[in-house]
Amino acid sequence: MNAHLYPFTDPIEARATPPKQMVSGDGAYVTDTLGNTYLDAVSGLWCASLGFNPERLQKAATDQMGKLGYYHSFMGRTGEVTNHLAERLVEKLPDGIDHVFFGTSGSEAVENAIKFARYFQIGRGKSTKARIIARDGAYHGSGSISAALTGMSYCHDGFDVPLSEVIRTGRAHHFADAHQGESETDFANRRVQELEELIIAQDPDTICAFIGEPLMGSGGVFIPPEGYWQGVQQVLRKYDILLIADEIITGFGRTGQWFGSQTFGIKPDLMTMAKQLTGAMFPLSAVGMSAQIYDGLSEHAHRLGTFGHGVTYGGHPVGAAIALETLKIYEEMDLPVHIAALGAHLRKALEPLQDMAGVGNIRSIGFVAGIEFTKNGAPDDATARAVGEEAERRGVLFRIINNTLAISPPYICTTHDIDKMVQVMRDSIAQTH
């Protein structure tokens, strides 16, 4: 076990308390080397939307490997299946997103989107527009600029990430950040006004883009109040700043519509996606872009002689075949209808927990929820951790994020599975208090 340096883990502690080693999956359940089985209520890392061993994706992968297990998309060649995926994806993406570029991970998609936004600005003669606005509590990945954009200090500590390229603004989390008595609308308006003041103070001519998750996931499941995204977009348009929607968690049904941008009325210039694109069965990501961005990039690249960017495994044929089959399954599910039914069941099951001691706020949309713990009005990280750990002992995995437990289950969960995760949450809260 010492051979492995684990991500987001204290290496010294991991030597003393090694992580559980998962060996098999069955639908929404995973089993470790000791034979313990867990219902994974967060789909791994918000990604295994079709469970941990989906047969149809396994078949799509092996069929494609038997046919053409690898090809790239560089310099006059590409995998046919990769083009099929691009075509299908563009049909499903929100109106106004007409082109895609493939990568491998979510972090890479964010790195790509930022590079493309800057390339676009340089291409149209606005090279001073280079800095990016990102929000407190955001998670955008573990690359260089993507880690700098992330609004969590532990992603910066000890690393030399380019923080000077980032301008930070407030998150849209009414429950924790509103002033006493401030309504959701007033809070949304305040955040929008703060954004405008920040842009003016920092000089709009130096700002390339704003990046935001339609709903913040890894920060703690923060659902933006009504009017927030409309106001943000008005300000960005006024100051000629691009909008990048980071849809790596919200893409493919999680918030109720196919994309979070549709749920919250966002019209991005660029959007990132990964995770549920392949039901997590293959590392594949994409950046979607408007015709305006695509045309700007194309013309700039043509002047330079090539679009000098790409990776060996971007749009990998096996990943593309899996993604095509995943999209087909989502369509057969009638994704928004399916998510509405699951989400309604989860919401109703969680409602009674709101009255339990220690529970400050329960919020959900689509098939994602957050349970935030407070003590005397202040965030209570210790209780969230204790409840999450107790639930794990009882066989259900939630994600512990500071004082919040996140729920983001696979779409193949039954109502029985949902009832089970909520019952375990309830028992764990009761046990902890």
Site residues for ligand PLP per CB under 6 A: 45, 105-107, 110, 139-142, 213, 217-218, 246, 248-249, 274
Facing residues of 286 across strands? 102, 273
- Please state the closest distance from residue 375 (CB atom) to ligand PLP, in A: 28
- Please state the closest distance from residue 340 (CB atom) to ligand PLP, in A: 23
- Please state the closest distance from residue 220 (CB atom) to ligand PLP, in A: 12
Nearer to ligand PLP, 141 or 224 (CB): 141
Closest residue to ligand PLP, based on beta-carbon distance = 106
Query: What's the rounded Cα separation, in Å, for the pair 99 and 293?
Result: 9
Nearer to ligand PLP, 213 or 390 (CB): 213
Contact 147/155 with Cβ under 8 angstroms?
yes
- Please state the closest distance from residue 8 (CB atom) to ligand PLP, in A: 10
CB neighbours of residue 187 within 10 Å: 22
- Please state the closest distance from residue 363 (CB atom) to ligand PLP, in A: 17
- Please state the closest distance from residue 215 (CB atom) to ligand PLP, in A: 9
Q: Please name the residue ranges forming H helices in 239-316.
A: 260-263, 291-304
Nearer to ligand PLP, 145 or 425 (CB): 145
Contact 169/211 with Cβ under 8 angstroms?
no
Nearer to ligand PLP, 149 or 386 (CB): 149
- Please state the closest distance from residue 274 (CB atom) to ligand PLP, in A: 5
- Please state the closest distance from residue 153 (CB atom) to ligand PLP, in A: 17
Nearer to ligand PLP, 135 or 345 (CB): 135
Query: What's the rounded Cα separation, in Å, for the pair 138 and 140?
Result: 6
Nearer to ligand PLP, 85 or 155 (CB): 155
Query: What's the rounded Cα separation, in Å, for the pair 337 and 270?
Result: 26
Contact 129/205 with Cβ under 8 angstroms?
yes
Nearer to ligand PLP, 153 or 180 (CB): 153
Report the SS3 class of residue 166.
strand
Nearer to ligand PLP, 399 or 426 (CB): 399
* One-character DSSP codes across 314-379: TT-HHHHHHHHHHHHHHHHHTHHHHHHHHHHHHHHHHGGGGGSTTEEEEEEETTEEEEEEEETTEE
Reported residue count of the chain is: 433
Contact 420/408 with Cβ under 8 angstroms?
no
CA-nearest of 172, 154, 171, 175 to 371 is 175
- Please state the closest distance from residue 140 (CB atom) to ligand PLP, in A: 5
Nearer to ligand PLP, 93 or 386 (CB): 93
Which residues are within 8 A (CB) of 408 and not within 5 positions of it... i.e. 6 or more apart? 41, 42, 43, 46, 217, 249, 254, 367, 368, 369, 399
